[in-house]
Amino acid sequence: MKLLGVERPTFGDMNAVAASQLAGVLLPAARRDPAGGVPGGGGSGRRIANLHDLSMDLCCHAKTRLLSLRQTPTMPRESVEFTTFQWPSLLKRARQMMLTGTTLEEGLDWGLEPGSNATRAGGRVATKSIASMLFLRGRDADAADATPMADPRLYPTWSPSPLTVGWSPVRFHGYEMCATSLTNCQTACPPVGRMLARAYQMRDAGAYLHQYAEHGVGVDGFEEAFGRCEDVLAAYRTL
Amino acid sequence: MDGNTGIGRPEFKNHERQKLARGRRGIDESAPGDRPGDRSRIREPRAFRDVVAMPGSVVTVQLGQCGNQVGAELFDTLSAEIDAHPPRDRAGIRRAFFREPHRDEHDDDVSGASTSYMAPVARAVLIDMEPKVVQASLRRAKKTGRWRYDGDRTLAFQSGSGNNWARGYHTYGDAVRHDVLDLVAKEAEACDHMGGFVLMQSMAGGTGAGLGAYVADALRDEYPTSTLMNHCVWPYESGEVIVQAYNTLLTLSSLLDSSDGIAIVQNEELHQVSLFFIFVWAISMTSCFVHRRA
């Protein structure tokens, strides 16, 4: 595919996007309240102990451990200095990305409301999340109002602390402000479902099964793996 | 060599467990302050710098071609972002992802400027069936001059997994278990406070997916209390590998047991974001051109 005479993205371009998302989560950040304001409030300002907190806050159940990474804004470094950033619009976009279950900030479906189901929203279904960690980096990251991301309609009622917010005053990727989120949500379920359909088709046709059997994965092994993936989908479907 | 590791490893494991136990206690002590209603343990808010001074170190394991490429990109990004921090904070944050090089350390013989010899060393273990991918990552890191990999933390063989998950998991997994755990243990031992592991892999192929799932299981056995996070690249649905549906589901099902969190990153969406990058870049270039002519 060619766009304006420019070639398609290379794996290098794509890896850079993936690395940027992950770095946005892994770099140090301090905890704060979703509403903003670091002083006061229980535990505010306690450092996020990196990976430990990721697993404690996001993945409390064995079957629901599928996470999605999102970052906004995403743009080439060359464009950064010509762009104005505002926390409210960034966070509104971050929330809509989460709600529509996409990691793309372009072409967002702004009509979708939290809690909509297929009948009300014309086939579009709002994505539910179990829990989310939001990392705000840059100017005024300590004060930006992240309550739109804490909307209880985005999460199931039993989720104890659905949103964790971390902040850092240091600019990320040269952006004046940047929001990265790591969310335990239904986003990965449709691809898993499609992959299952494809795998069943191949298995039923007996395709390539002998190559796996040679190395110790027989029909039972496949059956078990597919079953466990079905269980995961079922667990996310009940949200 | 074998006798050496046989004696060394149990000692290390106890030592590591104590470290982990200390780390966990430290975290648990401050946890009650987070619960609403429990106001007894609230501490005075501190400046950002004091709060984030000592993040736990992360040991990264890069598996397969995709894992090695994304991993190199990650350390490149981290290295650049750490430099964006105020000078007084850099050393503390760098410790989370890089270690200081030892003077007596064997420098890998990959060609590169000798100035990078004292550059920080990524806390990473590089594993692939084919040596060329690992070598490319080493070279790439060294070329930056800002950071590098440790050439002694790599494992490569002369044959591929043929995109067969079962071959990567069962056949190669058992064969390399000892070596992989040994490399990871050396890297983990070099951390003052180990914050956990990040495994980077693709889900479609044989090495990253199959061997990657095996390594996740092995690390879970060896470090039962450590946090283990997997960064998994989900294949294009149009298909990169004919058996990717098998490989992807086998990986997912296996990681559900071993991983604390499976971050799934879809190639399709990375592609779209990159395409948008190129689009914006092209637009800005075009408008620059127009301005210059005007």
The pLDDT score that the predictor gives to residue B24 is 36
Nearest residue in B to A23, CA atom: B78
Q: Judged by CB atoms within 8 Å, which residues 109-138 of B form the interface with A?
A: none
pLDDT score recorded for residue B161 = 75
**The predicted structure's pLDDT at residue B32:** 38
Q: How far is C-alpha B215 from the chain's CA centre?
A: 13
* pLDDT > 70? residue A217: yes
The chain B residue lying nearest A72, using CA atoms, is B273
Residue type, B258: S
Q: Which domains does chain B have, with CATH numbers?
A: 58-293 (3.40.50.1440)
Output the six-digit token pair for B54: 């000592």
Residue, of A201 and B23, whose pLDDT is higher: A201
- Mean model confidence pLDDT for chain A: 85
DSSP output for B171-240: IIHHHHHHHHHHHHHHHHHT-SSEEEEEEEEESSSSIIIIIHHHHHHHHHHH-TTS-EEEEEEEPPTT-S
Average pLDDT over residues A176-204: 95
Residue A224 pLDDT grade (very low, low, confident, very high; cuts 50, 70, 90): very high
Determine the distance in angstroms separating the CA of B155 from the nearest CA of chain A, rounded to an integer: 22
Q: How far apart are the first and last CA of chain A?
A: 38
pTM: 0.84
**Can you tell me the ipTM of this complex?**
0.91
**For residue B209, what are the CA distances in angstroms to A35, B45, B252, B264?**
40, 44, 9, 13
**Distance separating alpha carbons of residues B53 and B95, to the nearest angstrom:** 10
For residue B36, which amino acid is it? P
Q: What's the CATH class of domain A191-237?
A: mainly alpha
Q: Among A82-86, A139-143, A176-180, name the one with the lowest average pLDDT.
A: A82-86
Which residue among B77, B171, B283 sits closest to A23, beta carbon to beta carbon? B77
pLDDT digits (tens, 9 = 90+) for A31-76: 888 887 654 444 445 566 567 777 777 887 778 899 999 999 987 7
Inter-chain CB proximity A172 and B84 less than 8 Å: yes
Q: Which residues of chain B have pLDDT under 50?
A: 1-46, 50-53, 104, 109-113, 115-116, 292-294
B244 CB neighbours in chain A (<8 A) are: 195
In terms of CA atoms, which chain B residue is nearest residue A172? B81
pLDDT score of B23: 38
Min distance A115 CA to chain B CA atoms (Å): 24
Q: Does domain A11-188 correspond to CATH entry 3.90.1150.10?
A: no
pLDDT value for A18: 95
Q: Name the residue of chain B whose CA is nearest to A160's CA.
A: B35
B103 CA: distance to closest CA in chain A (Å): 28
CA distance A67 to chain B (A): 4
**What distance in Å separates the CA atoms of residue A141 and residue A135, rounded to the nearest whole number?**
9
Each domain of chain A, given as residue ranges in start order, spans: 11-188, 191-237
* A90-138 pLDDT per residue, tens: 999 999 999 988 888 878 888 888 876 655 555 678 889 999 999 999 9
Q: What is the average per-residue pLDDT within A149-164?
A: 87
pLDDT of residue B9: 34
DSSP A172: B
Q: Do A9 and B169 touch (CB under 8 A)?
A: no
Yes or no, beta carbons of A49 and B51 under 8 Å apart: no
CA A157 vs. chain centroid, Å, equals 20
